[in-house]
């Protein structure tokens, strides 16, 4: 979620939180208590081990370290967050 707060399946979620669901239901109930911006993403499970560090998600810790090195060398680009 980008900002504000929601209640998703009776669970409170605040700005900049991430929530994921198991493939064990047919519906998701979302209730906004105020104006809120959020993103819903979906996809097929890849059936592979994943590891994460900050915004990076890779298959191994080694790949994470390589991506961090690439980021430090300016090979990945620049992300400027603005939550106004």
pLDDT, tens digit, for every residue of 60-74?
999 999 999 998 898
Query: Do both 4 and 31 map to the same domain?
Result: yes
Say yes or no: 6 and 40 in one domain.
Answer: yes
pLDDT, mean over the chain: 86
Residues 14 and 25 in one domain: yes
Q: Answer yes or no: do 39 and 17 share one domain.
A: yes
- On whether residue 84 sits in a domain, the answer given is no
Per-residue model confidence (pLDDT) at position 60: 95
> Of the segments 7-16, 43-52, 59-68, which one has the largest average pLDDT value?
59-68
Residues 40 and 59 in one domain: no
Domain span including residue 50: 46-78
Could you report the per-residue pLDDT of 48-58, keeping only the tens digit for each? 999 999 888 99
Q: Quick check: is 16 in a domain?
A: yes
Residue 65 forms part of a structural domain: yes
**Tokens of residue 81, six digits:** 């967050």
Together in a domain, 25 and 56: no
Give the pLDDT score at 1. Answer: 57
């Amino acid at each position: 979620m980008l900002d504000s707060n929601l209640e998703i399946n009776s669970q409170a979620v605040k700005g900049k939180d991430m929530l994921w669901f198991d493939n064990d239901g047919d519906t998701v109930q979302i209730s906004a208590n105020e104006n809120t911006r959020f993103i819903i993403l979906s996809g097929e499970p890849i059936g592979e081990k994943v590891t994460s560090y900050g915004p990076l998600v890779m298959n191994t810790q080694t790949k994470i370290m390589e991506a961090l090195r690439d980021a430090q060398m300016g090979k990945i680009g620049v992300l400027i967050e603005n939550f106004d």
